[in-house]
Amino acid sequence: PAAKRPVGITDSSAGNAMQAPMPRRKVRRLRVTALENHRRSMQLHHTRRRLRDNEQALQAQLGENRGLHDELRRLARLDPLTGVQNRRALDEALAQAPRDGSGGLQPLSLLMLDVDHFKRVNDERGHEAGDEVLRLMAAQLRAGLRHDDLVYRYGGEEFVLLLPGADPEVATRRAEALRARVAACRFEVGGQALSMTVSIGLACAPADADQPEPLMRLADEALYRAKREGRDQVRRASGEATTTTA
């Protein structure tokens, strides 16, 4: 019979049943390594969280800056006195106006409007009264616009209106309606009601010109014909008077 092995002793081919204890120095080294790895892992976690928080704060700041930039851009295109868009905005609108295949302007009518006898208001009632007339005039023009019409203060007592898609016939009716609206209005300035009128020059694309610069020039020329020939009237770029004043 085979000899019995002592209890607790196994064959080396099956692995040692008992292993020698790990040296204390190695145990300490492993513990230190584990603690160091944990510390580095926590540091990495906190660093990533700080980076994420910083990125969110940066994105919020960028969004705020974009909003501020957009607001400054909007204000740069507004007339501070009347609240309507200014000449810079007009230049941009004309430059960006829809074009046809040959590069000419698509149907667009331009009204150049001047407040009649405005200098008299400034001279007799003061510049504050003149400013109030301009504010009220801008409000009247805005109130008489369609949803896609645009009004700009061109300078001084002059305004420009753009009527997208309006042909000469439609634009003439719109100009006459605005002229009549202003003439029928009473402007309350300094406790007194003032009667004001406007002269309007009208030019239409592409009938009169198919580029912004000549369109503006023709409307300006038509405006000054209206003023020379009696004021309170609309003049077409063709030279046609659409209003007969008394």
Instruction: Kindly give the residue spans of alpha helices, DSSP state H, lying in 76-104.
Output: 87-95
Cβ 213 vs Cβ 227: under 8 Å: no
Told to judge if 221 belongs to the known catalytic residues of this protein, a careful annotator would answer no
Can you tell me the distance from the alpha carbon of 181 to that of 197, in angstroms, rounded to the nearest whole number? 9
Tokens 């592409």 locate to 206
Of these residues, 157, 158, 188, 240, which one is catalytic?
Answer: 157
Contacting residues for 231 by C-beta, under 8 A, at least 6 apart: 116, 117, 197, 199, 245
71-75 long-range CB contacts below 8 Å, 24 or more apart? none
| Burial of 44 from C-beta contacts in 10 A (0-12 / 13-18 / 19+) | exposed
Catalytic residues: 157
